[in-house]
């Protein structure tokens, strides 16, 4: 796959990004990140550019983790079958027994 190169300007710093991803995709990611940086700057206008970049990165990481958790967590207990609950319970009991036997 051909590499795309994109010049980016964030918080007064210009740099180039190379990726195997399509340029449209890279532009979308950069735009999203710039939006996060802008949100930080609106909340604390005098924030140091490095701090704003770090806070924006942390916000995006938080969103990612919350999304991952929501995909792996059932929306309600009714979605988990009785069989699954029994299997989980048995595994937990076995782990506890193993831990107690090792002490």
What pLDDT is recorded for position 37?
Answer: 92
What pLDDT is recorded for position 3?
Answer: 81
Total domains in the fold of the chain: 2
What pLDDT is recorded for position 69?
Answer: 80
Q: Please tell me the distance from the alpha carbon of residue 54 to that of residue 40, in angstroms, as a whole number.
A: 10
Q: Are residues 58 and 94 in the same domain?
A: no
Enter the tokens of residue 17. Answer: 């990004």
Which segments in the chain show pLDDT lower than 50?
none
Q: Are residues 13 and 63 in the same domain?
A: yes
Q: Are residues 85 and 65 in the same domain?
A: no
Q: Please tell me the distance from the alpha carbon of residue 56 to that of residue 50, in angstroms, as a whole number.
A: 10
Domain, as residue range, for 54: 4-72
Q: Are residues 51 and 95 in the same domain?
A: no
First CA to last CA distance, the chain? 55
Enter the tokens of residue 35. Answer: 């939006």
Rounded to 5 degrees, what angle do the CA atoms 89, 92, 96 make? Answer: 140
Q: Please tell me the distance from the alpha carbon of residue 62 to that of residue 60, in angstroms, as a whole number.
A: 5
What pLDDT is recorded for position 36?
Answer: 92
What's the pTM?
A: 0.63
């Amino acid at each position: 796959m051909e590499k795309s190169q994109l010049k980016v300007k964030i918080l007064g710093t210009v740099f180039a990004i190379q990726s195997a991803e399509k340029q449209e995709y890279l532009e979308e990611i950069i735009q999203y990140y710039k939006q996060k940086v802008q949100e930080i700057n609106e909340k604390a206008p005098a924030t140091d550019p490095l701090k704003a970049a770090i806070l924006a990165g942390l916000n995006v990481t938080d969103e990612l983790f919350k999304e991952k958790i929501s995909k792996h967590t059932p929306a309600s207990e009714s979605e988990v079958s009785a069989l699954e609950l029994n299997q989980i319970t048995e595994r937990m009991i076995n782990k506890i027994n193993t831990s107690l036997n090792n002490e």
